[in-house]
Amino acid sequence: MTTSPPAPAPAKESLKNLLKQDTSGLSGRRWLWLAGAALLLAALLGFFLLGAKDKSNAPQYETAAVERGRLEVTVSATGNLQPTNQVDVGSELSGIVDTVRVDINDHVKKGQELARLDISKLKDAIAKSRAALIAAEAGVRQAEATVTESRANLARLQEVFQLSGGKVPSRSEMETAQAARARAEANLASAQASVTQARASLSSDETNLAKASILSPINGVVLARKVEPGQTVAASLQAPVLFTLAEDLAQMELQVNVDEADVGQVKTGQKASFSVDAYPGRKYPASISRVSYGSQVSEGVVSYPTVLKVDNSDLSLRPGMTATAEISTAARDNALLVPNAALRFTPSPGGAKKLDSGGILGSLLPRMPRSAGPRAPRGEEKNGGKRVWVLQDGQAVAVQIKTGLSNGRMTEVLAGELKPGMRVITDLATPAK
């Protein structure tokens, strides 16, 4: 009986090796796929975590609404209230004050006596001047008599000369008589001049006596009294001020200093309002009556004196009060207004909205360096326009506008894409703690 020989051992070993290789290859590929899936999952998880972190770190902004309203441009200035006509009353004479007849806040009339000096010396001077006048007038009469005598003597000699046929009196006697008459006439003229001088002295002394009574030059109110009875007044170099009078406190003026940067906007006739510390919350109307061309410099600051007319019919305002005036230089009704803070705001380079650069792959690729060309000032473009920023999808987007008047807080928008109700970025929001 014939039996088949058993399979050779090498063939069995080859099959085992083949099965072993197939099993190890399948296991390697499986591990390769698992590793790739794990890497992809880690990449996706990192991307979402990075996106969430970027979103949490995105800048937050403060915004304000664009609205329509009235825009009024004003210029501020500070000054003091003064009467329209203020007069300092003094004395031309030196002497002792005898009486004072008025006090502060008294109403006075033109020509009313305010005070009076001691007039005893003035009366003595008048008496002396009158005596001198009388003496001068007597001298005139004496000179007139001498003239009459000299003229008669000369006439008699001339008559004798004619009767004697020129023999008597002698020529020298005739000349002496003529000279005597001329001297008498000259003495008469001198005496008459002395009378005029004496009268002038008397008039001057009487004038001084009248000036001893210090009278009011205007109708008004006594603002200040600087003299008391018994006080000595010395008027040797200049007239001392005894009283200060205001003509009419119902009409006053506010004298302010307008800064050189604002004086170009201020013109005569413009309306204004002002307030004083004595009446908080009350606004007084006024109008500009004069803007001086002459300047004044105080601590290096150049300003121009400006006068405003003020109605003080209720006499609530008083001279010397410090007032802060708001001068209206321009106004716009129904103007499109944007806050000035929006014009000053510029977002950080990462906060502005940018074009898509290729997603995740693009973010991993290197970028070309930015150009270092000239940059426009904050909020201002090269063409002279302005730029504000609005929010779109959480990003700051620039909007070009053209601006007009500004009052320092709001600015008028003349042209651009801004509409009422849009919200413009004014600042970065402060993160909550």
- Rounded distance, CA 160 to CA 67, Å? 124
Give me the amino acid identity at 163: L
- Is residue 372 pLDDT above 60, yes or no? no
Residue 375 has pLDDT above 50, yes or no: no
Task: Check residue 374 and give its pLDDT.
Answer: 37
Residue type (1 letter), 221: V
Distance CA 423, CA 415 (A): 17
Residue 156 parent element (H or E):
helix 120-163
pLDDT over 90 (residue 322): yes
**Distance between CA 412 and CA 327 in Å, rounded?**
19
Top-ranked range on mean pLDDT: pick from 18-27, 267-276, 368-377: 267-276
Q: Chain-wide mean pLDDT for the chain?
A: 83
State the Rg of the chain over Cα: 55
How many angstroms separate the Cα of 239 from the Cα of each of 96, 187, 363, 370? 14, 42, 90, 80
Helices (H), 164-305: 171-211
pLDDT higher than 80, residue 6:
no
Write down the pTM of the prediction: 0.61
* CATH architecture for residues 91-118+212-247: Beta Barrel (2.40)
pLDDT tens, position by position, 262-313: 999 999 999 999 999 999 989 999 999 999 999 999 999 999 999 999 999 9
How much is the average pLDDT of 2-24? Answer: 49
CATH number, domain 75-84+248-332, options 2.40.30.170, 2.40.160.50, 3.40.50.10190, 3.40.50.720: 2.40.30.170
Res. 1: pLDDT tops 80: no
Alpha-carbon gap, residue 94 to 234, rounded angstroms:
5
Percent of the chain residues topping a pLDDT of 90: 60
Which range has the worst mean pLDDT, 17-21, 139-143, 414-418?
A: 17-21
Mean pLDDT of all residues in 372-377? 39
Encode 41-74: b = buried (16+ Cβ within 10 Å), e = exposed: eeeeeeeeeeeeeeeeeebebebbebeeeebebb
The mean pLDDT of 323-352, rounded to a whole number, is 86
Q: Comparing C-alpha atoms, which of 85, 83, 84 is closest to residue 218?
A: 85
Mean pLDDT of 344-361: 58
